[in-house]
């Protein structure tokens, strides 16, 4: 019989519900929300954290630091903190960087990234992810947690690589939505996949990840899912930008562009496709013309 873990799920949005769907039958679950939607008595965060074997951060990355600091003194030494957040906080840091600073080496932590559309998970379809962690004990623990579910997990020790792959793919997914809205064709989609992966690999190396890291589930796998699915928020954002709509343009990819600029995380001019997307997000006018001009420069 598989070991049963007590899991504290932080956040009960779409991904929190998807995680609940996957593990509810073989785990003891506590679910915490900062602002509960119903009239049920909210659980006390610190109390639930003290009993947890795994704390699953199903939250945007921005509140990670505050909550990690709040629960850190109460966690068992063996408790694993696991984040699925695919963005940057307001200081331009990844979930992995926040965990490293707040938890250090005294508390195990890991990141779970890959093609995991919540609607598909809750419909019983397969999902796939890389688990970024430094020790195999954490990997084995998560394999046990998801054993027998429709989520398939593989290990990666390249935490920086998978973190930046999954964060940046949301940026590149925008241009696929633009191209589809403008009906630029399947050939354009094929070109964009190659150009995006080339730049992803370059930026990941720049940010301290391993060469080739983006060609796996957290990068290429999640990029294809996010860039081509009609259920993808970032694909729809790209369509909206191509229609020159700016109202409601919010998402992790948009926020990543802002943080890269604000904190000068890397020189965007070195990555022409990334720069094109940033220019269009800032000024969504003549999108088709901007894409054509980008192609002329790329092949001049």
For 40, the token pair is 């049920």
Model pLDDT, residue 39: 65
Q: Reply yes or no on whether the pLDDT at 1 is more than 50.
A: no
pLDDT of the residue at 194: 98
pLDDT at 141 over 90: yes
Average pLDDT over residues 53-75: 97
Least confident of 28-37, 111-120, 139-148, 183-192: 28-37
Q: What does the pLDDT look like over 158-191, one tens digit per residue?
A: 999 999 999 999 999 999 999 999 999 999 999 9
Backbone angles phi, psi at 152, to 5 degrees: -105, 130
Provide the pLDDT confidence category of residue 37 given band limits of 50, 70 and 90.
Answer: confident
Q: Which two tokens stand for residue 52?
A: 């947890």
**What are the tens digits of pLDDT across the range 78-114?**
999 999 999 999 999 999 999 999 999 889 999 999 9
Domains parsed from the chain with CATH numbers: 5-157 (3.40.50.720), 160-298 (1.10.1040.10)
32: Cβ contacts below 8 Å, ≥ 6 apart: 8, 9, 10, 11, 42, 43, 45, 48
Average pLDDT over residues 217-222: 98
Residue 136 has which token pair?
């195999």
- CA 214 vs. chain centroid, Å, equals 13
Q: Is the pTM of this model over 0.85?
A: yes
Burial 190-226 (b: 16+ CB within 10 A, else e): ebbbebbbebbbbbbbebebeeebbebbbbbbbbebb
pLDDT over 70 percentage in the chain: 99
Of 117, 120, 111, 125, the C-alpha closest to 161 is 111
Mean pLDDT, residues 26-32: 95
Give the pLDDT mean for 236-262: 95
Query: 174 phi and psi, to 5 degrees?
Result: -60, -40
* Lowest-confidence segment of 33-37, 44-48, 83-87 by average pLDDT: 33-37
Q: In this predicted structure, what is the pLDDT of residue 165?
A: 98
């Amino acid at each position: 019989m598989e070991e049963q873990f007590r899991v504290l799920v932080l956040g009960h949005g779409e991904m929190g519900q998807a995680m609940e769907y996957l593990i509810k039958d073989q785990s003891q679950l506590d679910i915490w929300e900062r602002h509960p939607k119903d009239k049920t008595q909210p659980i006390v965060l610190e109390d639930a954290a003290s009993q947890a074997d795994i704390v699953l951060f199903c939250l945007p990355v921005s509140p990670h630091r505050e909550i990690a600091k709040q629960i850190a003194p109460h966690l068992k030494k063996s408790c694993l903190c696991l984040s699925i957040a695919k963005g940057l906080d307001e200081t331009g840091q990844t979930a992995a960087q926040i965990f490293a600073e707040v938890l250090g080496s005294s508390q195990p932590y890991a990141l779970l990234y890959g093609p995991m559309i919540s609607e598909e998970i809750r419909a019983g379809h397969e999902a796939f992810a890389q688990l970024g962690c430094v020790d195999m004990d954490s990997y084995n623990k998560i394999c046990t947690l998801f054993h027998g579910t429709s989520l398939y997990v593989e290990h990666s020790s390249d935490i920086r690589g998978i973190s930046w792959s999954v964060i940046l793919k949301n940026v590149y997914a925008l241009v696929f939505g633009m191209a589809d809205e403008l009906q630029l064709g399947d050939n354009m989609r094929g070109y964009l996949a190659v150009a995006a992966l080339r730049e992803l690999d370059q930026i990941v190396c720049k940010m301290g990840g391993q060469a080739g890291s983006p060609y796996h589930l957290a990068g290429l796998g999640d990029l294809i899912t996010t860039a081509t699915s009609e259920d993808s928020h970032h694909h729809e954002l790209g369509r909206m930008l191509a229609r020159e709509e700016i109202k409601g343009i919010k998402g992790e990819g948009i926020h990543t562009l802002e943080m890269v600029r604000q904190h000068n995380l890397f020189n965007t001019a070195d990555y022409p496709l990334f720069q094109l997307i940033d220019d269009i997000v800032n000024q969504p006018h003549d999108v088709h013309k901007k894409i054509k001009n980008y192609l002329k420069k790329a092949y001049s």
